[in-house]
Amino acid sequence: MSVQSAFASALLAPDAACPEGLFSSNGADPMSRFAVYRNNVHSALINALAAAYPVALQLVGEAFFRAMAGLYVQDHPPSSPIISEYGNTFADFIQGFAPAASVPYLADVARLERLRVRAYHAADIQPLDQHDVLQQLQGTADLGQSRLRLHPSLSTLNSPYAIVAVWAAHQTEGAVAMLDPGYAQNALVLRQGLAVKVFAIDSGSVAFINSLGRGAGLEMAVAEALEASAEFDLHQCLTLLIGHDAITHLHLEHKVSP
């Protein structure tokens, strides 16, 4: 094991001995100095998780959350120097964390919060002008093979729990008392300007948006949406996307006459 690997391993293990070769220039005990540094690193990573998952923290309380996050930190060291990327697998950890089982929607709420972080830090791409998009769509007779490219901040999430309602209730004082998380809900997350927004959408819209994200044309995307839900409303879904600057490119296929 390299010196760097040994140092990193000891840094995240609370009971590990001080790595060999460390010394203090002022004569202080290296172990005590290393313990302070290790505690600062642990605290910083736990604080990063608390900042990224504020609703998850509220759902279980700060003491429980920080204890759970501390266990996650020990087994999941950062893989990137970008602190906003830390905790990408935290929701999966929560899913398998037995003490959190009493809040069955906690992992999905964490997944929603991670999508919000990703949306905030997604690349800046200029969206198409809303009026121009509407004009082009309305002025094309055959939209079937046309393709829409969506903003990189956009993502969807399916859950058997009311994750959007849970998240929204924690943004408004007093709303938690009226919360019923026991029904399925799908989420759309996107960034409009600098504001990250969360919407509850139907399963057909999820299928439509995901199909567009894979590069499918409108005809295929609509077919997949209707397969997911016979109640899918194309106009309503496109209005949502256009109205929140989610479309960055529009390629209209034109049939060539024989």
Look at residue 65 in the predicted model and tell me its pLDDT. 98
The helix (run of H) or strand (run of E) holding residue 190 is: strand 185-192
Look at residue 61 in the predicted model and tell me its pLDDT. 96
Pair (99, 143) in one structural domain:
no
Q: Is residue 109 part of a domain?
A: no
Look at residue 151 in the predicted model and tell me its pLDDT. 97
Pair (87, 20) in one structural domain:
yes
Look at residue 24 in the predicted model and tell me its pLDDT. 65
Look at residue 173 in the predicted model and tell me its pLDDT. 72
Pair (97, 133) in one structural domain:
no
Domains contained in the chain, number: 2
Distance CA 105, CA 97 (A): 12
Look at residue 68 in the predicted model and tell me its pLDDT. 98
Amino acid symbol at 182: G
Please state whether the predicted TM-score (pTM) of the whole model is above 0.75.
yes
Which residue, of 73, 103, 133, is where some domain finishes? Answer: 103
Per the structure, the complete domain to which residue 37 belongs is given by: 1-103
Tokens 């390629």 sit on residue: 251
Q: Is residue 114 part of a domain?
A: no
Would you give per-residue pLDDT tens digits along the chain (258 residues)?
A: 566 776 767 676 666 666 666 666 666 666 667 777 778 888 999 999 999 999 999 999 999 999 999 999 988 988 888 999 999 999 999 999 999 999 999 999 999 999 999 999 999 999 999 998 888 887 666 666 788 999 999 999 999 999 999 999 998 876 676 778 889 999 999 999 999 999 999 999 999 999 999 999 999 999 999 999 999 999 999 999 999 999 999 887 655 444
Of the candidates 7, 129, 107, 17, the residue with the CA atom closest to the CA atom of residue 53: 107
Look at residue 18 in the predicted model and tell me its pLDDT. 67
Q: Is residue 237 part of a domain?
A: yes
Are the CB atoms for 111 and 117 separated by under 8 Å?
Answer: no
Q: Is residue 215 part of a domain?
A: yes
Q: Is residue 108 part of a domain?
A: no
Tokens 């642990």 sit on residue: 42
Looking up residue 222, the CATH number of its domain turns out to be 3.90.930
Give strand pairing partners of 249: 149
Pair (149, 78) in one structural domain:
no
Q: Is residue 116 part of a domain?
A: no
Look at residue 211 in the predicted model and tell me its pLDDT. 96
Look at residue 257 in the predicted model and tell me its pLDDT. 47
Which residue, of 103, 135, 169, is where some domain finishes? Answer: 103
Pair (98, 131) in one structural domain:
no
